[in-house]
Amino acid sequence: MRNAAIRRTTKETDVEIKLSLDGGEVWVSTGIGFFDHMLTALAFYAGWGLELTVKGDLEVDGHHTVEDTGIVLGQALKEALGDRKGIRRFGSAFVPMDEALCFTALDFSNRPYLVFDADMPQPMIGDYDACLTVEFMRALAMNAGLTLHQKCHYGANAHHMTEGLFKSLGLAVKDAVRVEGAAVVSTKGVL
Ligand SMILES: [Mn+2]
């Protein structure tokens, strides 16, 4: 089983994650309802087992909670992948969600990079600030060693658009971490 367990505590947040790339229970609690909804969708479409508890300084706002969750989830993903031997490495997916169309392309290259193009038409989704999605994706990409591109081609509802981004991320990750051989997929021989 490819898995990782990490706990990270700062003055702003306490994040505890158990991640399995090869399935299991999904249980998420961050204190932000819509963020729980997104992380549950991500885990489901990625085929992960994920136990995630976050206690953040929500009396400030959701920023530290969302960003730090991205950091620790990225660290867990990196650890669970190990030497990345035999994984497909690349993945991509389009996901439509009602009027919105979202796309993710990614490469577990060990070269962190984020390109994110999704302007949200409403600032808030429940008690989740719509501008936090790019913060989560950046933290995830930087800490997982992931080249991540995301684009929302069009949409009118920030809930649909954000959900399309998380679901397409999950589907792309599921493809990219699939073990297909024994060798590292790189002309350099190492990732
Ligand atoms: Mn939804």
Distance 34 CA to ligand 1 centre (A): 8
How many angstroms is it from 47 CA to the middle of ligand 1? 18
Strands 90-97 vs 13-20: parallel, antiparallel or unpaired = unpaired
Q: How many A from CA of 84 to the centre of ligand 1?
A: 32
Q: Which of 18, 14, 23 is nearest to 6 (CA)?
A: 18
Number of residues assigned to the chain: 191
Residue 177: its pLDDT value, please?
A: 98
Q: What is the pLDDT of residue 185?
A: 87
Distance 32 CA to ligand 1 centre (A): 14
Mean pLDDT by 10 residues, the chain (191 residues): 96 98 97 98 98 98 98 98 96 98 98 98 98 98 98 98 98 97 88 89
Say how many Å lie between the CA of residue 160 and the centre of ligand 1. Answer: 7
In this prediction, residue 118 carries a pLDDT of: 98
Task: Record the pTM.
Answer: 0.97
* Distance of CA 25 from the midpoint of ligand 1 (Å): 20
Predicted pLDDT of residue 182: 86
User: 161: CA distance to ligand 1 center in Å?
Assistant: 10
Decide if 148 contacts 137 (C-beta within 8 A).
yes
Q: Domain coordinates of the chain in residue numbers? A: 3-176
State the distance from the centre of ligand 1 to the C-alpha of 185, rounded, in angstroms: 35
What lies within 8 Å, CB to CB, of 70 at 6+ separation is 135, 136, 137, 138, 139, 140, 143
CATH number of the structural domain 3-176: 3.30.230.40
Give distance in angstroms: CA of 36 to centre of ligand 1.
11
Q: Could you give the 3-state DSSP secondary structure of residue 41?
A: helix
pLDDT at position 1 is: 83
Ligand 1 center to 37 CA (angstroms): 7
CA 188 to chain centre: 27
Q: Give residue 16 CA to ligand 1 midpoint distance, Å.
A: 24
Distance from residue 107's CA to the centre of ligand 1 (Å): 26
